[in-house]
Amino acid sequence: MMRIRVIVPPVAVVASACAALAAAQPASPPAAAQPGGGGQTIRWQSEVPVLAPAPWHGRFLADGQPDVEGHWSNIIANHNNWTDPQAGAPGEPTAAAKLPRDQRAPSRVTDPGDGQIPYLPAARARQQEFARNFTKPDRPEYVEPLARCAPAGVPKSFIWHGYELRQYPGYVLLLFNSGTRIIRLGGKPHLPDSIKLWNADSRGHWEGNTLVVDVRNNNGKALFGRSGDFASENVVIRERLIFDNDGKRFNYVATFTDPTVYSRPWTATIPARRYTEADSDDGWHYEGVPANRPGKPVLHERMERICVENNGPFGGGAVGVPLEEPIIAR
């Protein structure tokens, strides 16, 4: 595992994704934790819980938001491979990659049912070019963006280390290992189309236990994983963060629409679990640091990470193209 050097959908689509998850769940128990390098432990889990949109019966915040604040982490693998989460990065297979495919974690792609992103031919060629050159990056665009301290972007931030979710009146704030993302609530308009961001621009609202987010203004430079899967700056993402009423889990279910890259919309599911002060810091899923609160209950906070290696240009999509050119030619 490469370690970054640091200082300090519509309801019908969601239902279809949930059904696909239920059918795809293997009977095998969760796989054991495996070392992630640098003393870290990455927990691999083969089963994905099915959570459905429903009324929220938990605690509410003063502004009416369901209270889902806390520390969270993806439960099935890290960001190495998007469609085969336990396989490892291209050319760097993990021990779990030796298991039969149906005994490893399922693809994060839950629609279509084959677990693959429905790329257009030119886009698939770009993704495969990146994967072929991952272990011999002789051009800047073959270097994983996170290795050069770029933000992980949407949706990779949800599978790169743990993160903290905080809530404020009119906002949901996500504190990732690789940057910060703000989801604005209350019907505020998106930024102008000419403004493109690594973490895009997010506008959300609550529907019961589900935070529904419309994501636009993506700059198309982040990758989904080290296998080179990507979206262009034209992508529109409809996210649904579906929280269990016991407050212990949520599923990130997102539909990606980008006719310049994909032959049709497709849906991804990333399951997450909550971590608390009762959990130990494992250097990966949970990196809570005790706050200085003498005489008060223990409170863990995330340490701000500032990267110092963001010193090179980035291409668009899985491989570089001049910024004035479209990501995928129609």
Looking at the DSSP bridge assignments, the partners of residue 257 are 236
Q: What confidence score (pLDDT) does residue 65 get?
A: 97
pLDDT (0 to 100) of residue 148: 84
pTM for this predicted structure: 0.83
Chain CA centroid to CA 59, Å? 26
Where in 177-292 does DSSP place strands (E)? 179-185, 201-207, 210-216, 236-243, 249-257, 266-275, 288-290
Neighbours of 146 (CB within 10 A): 24
What average pLDDT values come out for the chain (330 residues) when binned by 10 residues? Answer: 34 42 38 45 74 96 96 90 91 88 90 97 96 91 87 94 95 92 94 96 98 97 94 98 96 98 98 92 86 90 71 62 38
Contact in structure between 250 and 243 (CB atoms under 8 Å): yes
**CA end-to-end span of the chain:** 36
Q: Which of 118, 143, 316 is nearest to 226 (CA)?
A: 143
The span from the CA of 282 to the CA of 256, in Å, is 32
CA distance 246 to 255: 25
C-alpha triplet 257, 220, 13: angle, nearest 5°: 20
pLDDT number for residue 35? 45
**pLDDT on residue 44:** 67
- Quick: pLDDT tens for 226-247: 999 999 999 999 999 999 999 9
pLDDT at residue 312 in the model:
60
For 211: left if phi > 0, alpha if psi spans -120 to 50, otherwise beta; the answer is: beta
List 24's β-bridge partners, or say none.
Answer: none
pLDDT at residue 41 in the model: 63
* Single-letter amino acid code for the residue at 101: R
pLDDT of residue 317: 65
Inter-CA distances, 85 with 73, 106, 290, 323, 325, Å: 15, 7, 31, 31, 32
Q: From the centroid of its chain, how far is CA 235? A: 15
Which helix (H) or strand (E) covers residue 93, if one does? strand 92-93
List of residues 6+ apart from 36 with CB closer than 8 A: 1, 42, 78, 283, 284
- Distance CA(215)–CA(258), nearest Å, equals 12
Instruction: Give the pLDDT of residue 56.
Output: 97
DSSP 192: P
The pLDDT, as a whole number, for residue 290 is 87
